[in-house]
Chains A and B, each alone.
Chain A
């Protein structure tokens, strides 16, 4: 069965610090990968997604993620975080070859200190 691991439960950074949130998945076939963000009091929103092609994916608000197939990883990065990035971030994987549902990680809470 597919699974997603997010290594950090809670990350605390100061503004302007660089961010990298880890995500590893277990599935040997074709995958589609996603990062969702949930700002305080808001619903889950798509941050970025990987289908195929360039493994470096750019999303909204300056976020990017790199798909490394050999490492089964899809880490999220941002060069300089802002206080407004405080949120919970969820990595998710879908089987790229069939219908089904997204499998989510347990999430990483990011707190950015002003």
Chain B
């Protein structure tokens, strides 16, 4: 597609429920990144996928968070047993050849856990 597409744009969920957030990167971009943006906290790196390499999961805050990327394209970020502190905007970005060339960001998914 023309840009990075994320869905849903907004998600309200009850504490303890699982959620799935979807990212559709720019066609042909080999690298895909997930970040979390909280008020006053900037962008917190979560995970990235580069081609067929094993993902770098070093930023995932707990084992309740996981992500996969199918067929080198669409990615899903899953948060299990959501907590109120998971409330944030989850951003996806993709890059043609890696971080050092910069990213194109999606519009994000605003997750609210009540």
Which A residues are closer than 8 A to B by beta carbons?
9, 32, 34, 36, 42-46, 49, 51, 90, 92, 94-96, 99-107
Contact = CB atoms under 8 A, between A and B. Distances in A.
B102 A104 contact: no
Interface stretch (B12-20, B61-69, B71-79, B104-112): B104-112
B102 A90 contact: no
A106 B45 contact: no
Given A99-B50, A101-B56, A94 B99 contact: yes
Nearest to B99: A94
Contact of B100 (A36, A44, A46, A95): A95
A95 B106 CA distance: 23
Given A90-B42, A101-B56, A44 B91 contact: yes
A102 B99 contact: yes
Contacts of A95: 99-100
Interface size class of chain B, counting residues whose CB lies under 8 Å from the partner chain: 20 to 34
A103 B45 contact: yes
A32 B63 CA distance: 31
Interface string B11-49: 000000000000000000001010100001111010010
A95 B56 CA distance: 15
A102 B43 CA distance: 10
A103 B48 CA distance: 12
A105 B41 CA distance: 9
Nearest to B41: A106
> Max chain A CB contacts within 10 Å: which of B59, B99, B107?
B99
